[in-house]
Structure 1
Amino acid sequence: MSTAATRTKYTIREDTLDETEVYVTDTQKSGPTAVVVGGIQGNEPAGYDAARDIKTWSIDRGTLVTIPQANPIAIRRDTYFNDRGNLNRKFPPGETPTTPLARAIWGVLTSYDPDVVINLHSSRGIYREDVGPDGVGQAIYPTTVSGAARDAIRTKEYMNRYHLDDSFPDHYRFKRGNLIDGTRPLLIHKVDADLNEPGFIIETTRYGTSLKTRTRWELNIVRHLLGRHGIHRTYEN
């Protein structure tokens, strides 16, 4: 990252149990803005572990905004829900988010006018496979915005070629998931409906995988998706 670039952080929902940090890397070079959100579900640690790494990344242009631990109560409790239920059901398209934390998260997104939003998750099972528990893992779910589905396809191809070692059976191969079409009260559905920007839900599977492996997969998926949107990770100090 060049000397002109800046790293800042600030707190949302300060002095509440929801208090959590937002991290911003601004290269001071013209380019896209990306937002990465982890930890909306507190029992999906690969997402927030990956996001904690991503917040430190140097990039070549544009701005990278990261909310590593979007749902701190649920993370502390290692639960899917917080006291107000499922945070990722509090973002109704076309309406105001329905809890203070959801409104704060949405306020971060809209304040940066993002060009791409990525939400990191994991699942008990594997998408469209008859092995293990039911689930939606090993898939990248794009919004309906032009080009997003192609980005998901190219990224899953990249992951299957370079980051899925031979120890995993074929049912672990990444897929392009169904389109996120703005019809449900999830964060990326709201991105599709209200912002009309590329957005992605990333789902790895917890079935037969280690946290280290899931986190590595999510890091590589984010890096590839950002690259397809014109933001490339660099390795400057």
Structure 2
Amino acid sequence: MRTFLPRRRFSGGAAGWCLWLAAGLLQAALPDPKPLGFIRSNTPAATPYFLQDSGKPGPLVFISGGVHGDEPAGAGAADQIRHWPIVRGKIVVLPRANAEALPARKRLTPGADTNQNNLNRNFPRAQQNEPPRGELAAEIWALLKQFKPDWVIDLHEGSDFRIQTTNSVGSSLIVVQKEAGKQAAALMHEAVNATITNAARQFMLLRSPVDGSLARAAGEHLNAQAMILETTIKAQPLSQRIRQHRVMVHTLLRHLGMIDESVTTEWMTDQRPDRARRQIAVYDAAGTSGPGVSRLHEIAGASARLQAVPIGPEDIVRGALSQFDALICPGGTGSGQAAALGETGRRQVKQFVEAGGGYVGICAGAFLACDGFSWGLKILNARTVSPQWRRGTGTVRVELTEAGKKILGEANGLLEIRYANGPILTNATSTELPAYETLAWFRSELAENNSPKGIMINSPAMVAAPCGQGRVLCLSPHPEQAKGLEKMVERGIEWAAGNRRPPSP
């Protein structure tokens, strides 16, 4: 199994990173994270684009995502790919092309005229001498004409698997029929399908993007090798769809000789040692449920100091955690998350924490952390008081301890927080793990479904502990779902990540 090369990055903190660079494992300079410019600047639709110039001859590749606002994987993948260092040619990345539609999670551009609201139908049509329709399409098209790309890759999503239905183009590569593009697409198709074991979910090669699309216009009018890459939203977590985009684009850039072996498909973050935001991996795959994942992304997105990135079992198994400061495992089912991670993934998480990474477990993620389960991560010296975990769902009252106030912030009196079958913790007996410290107590109780009464009141609601060089924070209730507690959650995440490295001022 190929391992993510930068996994040694944080050994010894910044000094370890410098040694990694000095060892010559990275042949290209890390890209400048600052945008080259903005389209639709000084408007609500303003969105940045990024240029990476290797300084060496080679092709120019233009990568766009987020043309449709209800297709987040393309935007997420493009925002990760822009951090890949290249060794020849240039890359221009427009991660969030439709900056008004993306936060609205709408396919069509909010407020646009009916004949202009589908951005991917607004570019010059084949065999037509016409301008783009609408200011957003016009500025994107002007950007392409300015850079004259050799390749245009537009990242999208479909609602269903094309291999199963003709009603969607999900899981497909839609290729402008030029020879170099077809050859590259065949390699990309083979690479992404090698990651998919379910034959009913594999990708298909399709001909000719729809007329009026960015890719079709680039092929027809700019003579670019162009294609649309489509993942499928149905029954697949965002982390998996982003990964599929990375696999396809990685295959193309390797084929073009633009990235070397130091860049793997697991490169998901800004890897500069002086980056300003802590990189937080949010597990979003099998074993998760409810609004916790989206709320955690909202909280991190509103923070100037945190960057949340979806992560799945395949990423974790292949060593991707080494580039992050903390991992959050949210609500759902702890045993389900454990099964999805498998023994290798669970070992990767434990090693990540022991090496200085942070872990935040919420509800199911708190179960997962415990030493008291055979499938647990065994990073918290805790077990559950009773195996009858179905205590019910509702609002409970929680009171912070003085230790909790130091970590999570001042909050006097009782806090009302959503509870959904979270663990009732007590000390375990591990001789390898230190005791936890209680940060908050339950001051009320839910005891439905014949679960034992009296064990929840005055038991730990939130706990923290060291594990090796790392920190573990476990929350039985759901403060991330409580309006007004966003800063508490943000502080908790920052505390957990605090042993990794200090953020830049």
TM-score by length of structure 2 reads: 0.43
Runs of 5+ unmatched residues, structure 1: none
- Give, as a single letter, the amino acid of the residue that structure 2 aligns with 1:215: I
Partner of 1:206: 233
Deviation of 1:201 (Å): 0.2
Residues 1:129 and 1:66: Cα distance change in structure 2 (over 3 Å): same
Matches for 1:31-50 after TM superposition, within 5 Å = 31-50=58-77
Pairing 1:190–2:217 present? yes
Conserved 8 A contact 1:159-1:174: yes
- Give, as a single letter, the amino acid of the residue that structure 2 aligns with 1:176: L
| Secondary structure of 2:106's aligned partner | coil
Pairing 1:123–2:158 present? yes
- Give, as a single letter, the amino acid of the residue that structure 1 aligns with 2:179: S
Conserved 8 A contact 2:158-2:231: yes
Partner of 2:149: 114
Pairing 1:223–2:250 present? yes
Conserved 8 A contact 1:23-1:67: yes
Which deviates more, 1-10 or 16-25?
A: 1-10
- Give, as a single letter, the amino acid of the residue that structure 2 aligns with 1:136: V
Distance 1:6 1:70 in 2: 20
Q: How big is the alpha-carbon RMSD for the aligned residues of Structure 1 and Structure 2?
A: 2.0
Matches for 1:1-237 after TM superposition, within 5 Å = 2=28, 8-82=35-109, 83-84=111-112, 85-93=117-125, 94-130=129-165, 134-161=167-194, 163-164=195-196, 166=197, 169-180=198-209, 184-232=211-259, 234-235=262-263
Conserved 8 A contact 2:65-2:96: yes
Residues 1:129 and 1:206: Cα distance change in structure 2 (over 3 Å): same
| Secondary structure of 1:72's aligned partner | coil
| Secondary structure of 2:140's aligned partner | helix
Distance 2:229 2:29 in 1: 32
Q: Deviations over 1:128-160 (max 9, x none)?
A: 424xx9311111111122221222122111221
Larger radius of gyration: 2
Deviation of 1:30 (Å): 1.0
- Give, as a single letter, the amino acid of the residue that structure 1 aligns with 2:120: N
Conserved 8 A contact 1:30-1:61: yes
Deviation of 1:179 (Å): 2.6
Distance 1:52 1:95 in 2: 31
Distance 2:233 2:31 in 1: 37
Conserved 8 A contact 2:28-2:86: no
Conserved 8 A contact 1:5-1:27: no
Q: Deviations over 1:161-185 (max 9, x none)?
A: 2x22x3xx211111111233xx711
Distance 2:71 2:32 in 1: 30
Number of equivalent positions? 229
| Secondary structure of 1:107's aligned partner | helix
Deviation of 1:207 (Å): 1.4
Percent identity between the two aligned chains: 29
| Secondary structure of 1:14's aligned partner | coil
Q: Deviations over 1:1-36 (max 9, x none)?
A: 645976652111111111000101111111110000
- Give, as a single letter, the amino acid of the residue that structure 2 aligns with 1:226: L
Residues 1:4 and 1:224: Cα distance change in structure 2 (over 3 Å): closer
Conserved 8 A contact 1:91-1:102: yes
Deviation of 1:69 (Å): 0.3
| Secondary structure of 1:230's aligned partner | coil
Residues 1:230 and 1:195: Cα distance change in structure 2 (over 3 Å): farther
TM-score by length of structure 1 reads: 0.90
Q: Deviations over 1:48-100 (max 9, x none)?
A: 00011011111111111000000000012110011221111110233211111
Residues 1:201 and 1:5: Cα distance change in structure 2 (over 3 Å): closer
Distance 2:234 2:30 in 1: 44
Distance 1:3 1:203 in 2: 30
Distance 1:232 1:88 in 2: 29
Query: Higher relative contact order at CA 8 Å, sep ≥6: structure 1 or structure 2?
Result: 1
